[in-house]
Structure 1
């Protein structure tokens, strides 16, 4: 049996196995889109009239102006561009925004090229679906071996016929929320984690944390920490398992990729972001011409320009989760939607 045939068999096997898992992932654990619920609550707090429309959307009226929550405010072109990571990178580079990671696009048919490029470059890599996924779905980071690259490729192919292989960029994850060409808020994103007490195992710490999270039903709540193969692999890479007992005060990160619906956290760091980073993101907004977007950045130091810190633009999201940010930020979004935002 040829290697190409084996690759095809592995691909279709993974499609069947992972496809069912993906259907479970996208259902999440909420009873409605948190961002829509947040906009609804904020509009009601401002005294606006809000009525349920169709399929989980809401019609909001303020005076003579009406907006719909749950319907994309952007053009189809902007939405398509940002849903396709390869197209996003290409457009950014074409317009002078070169702070993106090294990347190449592949398919199942060019998997050997991906392997050879990985071995030739000898860099730690990331594999991700080219388009139509969210929240870290199908993404594998910190790839150091061809074996792990193969697993990552077949995992990614479950979600689409094309995938990207990028250089793994060391640093922290940040989300820059913008409306039009104006920055509203910046948060640091932290993968799901637990803090040891010297007595409980990682699994027990996760269970205790999840009990707290389930009790919070607000749209801004933290999602339960999901234990899956990604968590198990991340712990193995650290020489740990779910049965490991962390020392008192020891913080253990359970994933290498941020995924809000799998339990990650955020911290507001707007006040320390370097002005050049803000200007860079606002320029991207003007280039892609989106209304409300979240720009994901990886950098070791958000207080420095990206060129100085070695930081990169990781993604541009046209459906940014407002639950990453505080209520005051969502109130600003409402103001912009109804053209009530104060001037710069």
Structure 2
């Protein structure tokens, strides 16, 4: 199926069954607009999933006007918490995990409200593993375990030097298109994490000592990604697909945390953190470790099968290599007869 590069939208388009579709960066025509619009709001997603009995962290929203007019009492909050933009936050930008006191929270809100009108405050759920689950057309296409940024000590280099060495190695792999971008950047949360574990950037970690640098596992913050495809248990598959249906999203990347994706959430701790309506696919096709999964083709095929079932079927018949013309005709007639029987 031919497609056309559209440089002015940083994407491409394709024509199928009389319609043209555009894909721009991570934005696709796979979902309807209203569902996408709802999924932009992380608090709405949290409440909708909660009402459907899908586990989510406790959450509430603070408006910029409420904060600066002193209309919001923060004394009731049970710490630790996570602060993040409510609308359209992505890549882990402006997310601060494990805030432990009101002063730190207020200082960070002052910073966030310079760029955002609404901020979500969620309970921070510690000691859980993070996963990105990609769902398309009521099927799980892939699962990636996302691991927060970390380095391994060698007994020689300081933490700062270890980060520089790690970044140089990753930059080489990124330049060779081996992995998706995952360079470690030291931000506010990194300093808080290092302070918590009593380590400074000038310290020299002992050989093979792992130093975790932050809590959020995003690749854009230096996190690593390893394939977890095939590990999810049937109970969690059902829960994940239920979440997609609840939000009416045909294509979605769920960020969830749990003890182990292979163990049912419910009997074990687990929570849905976000629903990404325009999920990136690089982390699936170019993980740091593990099996690469070509999810782009699977997602496109699933979309066309649902939106244009007959046209897609005929496209497949026409492009069957080496198939005899009469065999194609028999298959097509059989399909038409089957759909006719179903309608009647």
Task: Place the TM-score, normalised by the shorter chain, in its bin.
Answer: 0.7 to 0.9
Using a 3 Å threshold, how does the CA distance of structure 1 residues 117 and 302 change in structure 2: closer, same or farther? same
CA distance 1:184–1:310, change in 2 (3 Å): same
State the secondary structure of the residue aligned to 2:238.
Answer: helix
The residue number in structure 2 matching 1:134 is 90
Q: Tell me, in whole angstroms, the C-alpha distance in 2 between the residues paired with 1:187 and 1:158.
A: 33
Q: For residue 177 of structure 1, what is the aligned residue in structure 2?
A: 134
Work out the CA distance in 2 between the residues paired with 1:108 and 1:56.
33
Structure 1, gaps ≥5 residues long: 1-47
Give distance in 1, aligned partners of 2:219 and 2:114. 21
| Cross-structure match for 1:69 | 23
- 1:105 corresponding residue in structure 2: 61
The structure with the larger Rg is: 2
- Where do 4+ consecutive residues of structure 1 move more than 3 Å? 60-67, 108-114
2:14 equivalent in structure 1: 60
On the 8 A contact 1:139/1:156 being kept in 2, the answer is no
1:107-144 deviation digits (Å, cap 9, x = unpaired): 244446452111xx3x3211122112112222111111
Report the equivalent of 2:108.
Answer: 152
Q: Which residue pairs with 2:234 in the alignment?
A: 275
Unaligned runs of 5+ residues in structure 2 are 285-291, 306-311, 317-344
Paired residue total: 291
Q: 1:157 to 1:332 in 2, by over 3 A?
A: same
What is the aligned counterpart of 1:79 among 36, 44, 47? 36
TM-score (norm 2): 0.78
Taking only aligned residues, the RMSD between alpha carbons, in angstroms, comes to 2.4
- The answer to whether the 8 A contact 1:52-1:58 is kept is yes
Indicate the residue corresponding to 1:194 in structure 2: 151
Structure that is richer in helix per residue: 1
Q: What residue in structure 2 maps to residue 22 of structure 1? A: none
* Deviation of the 1:61 alpha carbon: 5.2
Offset, 1:158: 3.2
CA shift digits 1:162-218 (9 cap, x unpaired): 212211112111111000211111111111111111111111111111112222332
Deviations 1:46-81 (A, max 9, x none): xx4232123212123579775432243222211111
